[in-house]
Structure 1
Amino acid sequence: MDYRFELAVIPVSDIDRAVHFYRTLGWRFDAEFADDEGYRLVQFTPPGSPASIIFGSGVTDAEPGSTQGLHLIVDDVVAAREDLLSKGVNASEVFHDKTGVFHHAGTEGRVEGPDPKRASYGSFLSFTDPDGNGWVLQEVTTRLPGRV
């Protein structure tokens, strides 16, 4: 039995502002649905990703901006940072974790710059959407065995 992760719901306070932000990132606008009772959902997919995000009204009870640690995998975290900056996104500096493994929560344990060995899975950057939902970009150049 396969269990494929396809969707994350993120809470936002202003749907139209979120639509503008994710369009600015260059993410694919997949769908929008609204009814007469105030229910509205919008779906976007990051370039190259099999998973999407949904936000809107009536799709989650979570507080806007409360979703943290959403990860996007990139081939080159330095180039990805430049891309985000060119789109007006306030991206963090590239960092690696003091443990040399997965990053700590928040900004604890961050060491400036990419992983010194530029090891796959070892370099990161972060940014937030306008509500404060937190995204982390992780550089992966060689997958662990069994991963695609």
Structure 2
Amino acid sequence: MDIKLELIGVPVTDIDRAKAFYERVGFHADHDVTVSEEIRFVQMTPPGSACSIAFGKGITEMTPGSLDNMQVVVTDIEEAHADLTGRGIDVSPIDDQPWGSFVYFADPDGNRWAVQQTKPRGQ
């Protein structure tokens, strides 16, 4: 039996601000549907990913900004750092660890993301 992780809820305060931010990061807007006055569902997917994020109204009861250490994986951390910086995203310097190289950023609500190159630089 396969079990596939396909959707992660991200708690945000301002739906349109979050959508604009994640579009700037490079995520694709898959859905933006207002179901009722209580529910608006926005789904966005990073390029090449089988897993998406969702935010909106009536999506999660988590406190905005409480999502910590969401992680995406890239093949070239230097390219990812340059791309994100070029898109105006405030990213950390590259952090080299024995298990990979990372850059970090947060969305406007403070939900934190790690971008990992699984093979450390220079190997």
Name the structure 1 match of 2:36: 36
Deviations 1:92-134 (A, max 9, x none): 000034xx3xxxxxxxxxxxxxxxxxxxx41111000111111
Q: Which amino acid aligns with 2:56?
A: G
Aligned counterpart for 1:124 among listed residues 102, 105, 108: 102
Distance 1:86 1:33 in 2: 30
Structure 1 or 2: larger strand share?
A: 2
Deviations 1:55-93 (A, max 9, x none): 001110100010011111000111101100000100000
Q: How does 1:1-148 map to 2 (within 5 A)?
A: 1-97=1-97, 100=98, 121-141=99-119
Q: Which amino acid aligns with 2:117?
A: E
Q: TM-score, normalised by structure 2?
A: 0.92
The alignment's C-alpha RMSD in Å is: 1.4
Distance 1:18 1:88 in 2: 15
Structure whose alpha-carbon radius of gyration is higher: 1
DSSP 3-state at the match of 1:123: strand
Name the structure 2 match of 1:108: none
Q: TM-score, normalised by structure 1?
A: 0.77
Name the structure 2 match of 1:145: none
DSSP 3-state at the match of 1:54: strand
Aligned-pair identity in percent equals: 43
Preserved CA contact (<8 Å) 2:35 2:41: no
Return 5+ residue gaps in structure 2 as ranges. Answer: none
DSSP 3-state at the match of 1:137: strand
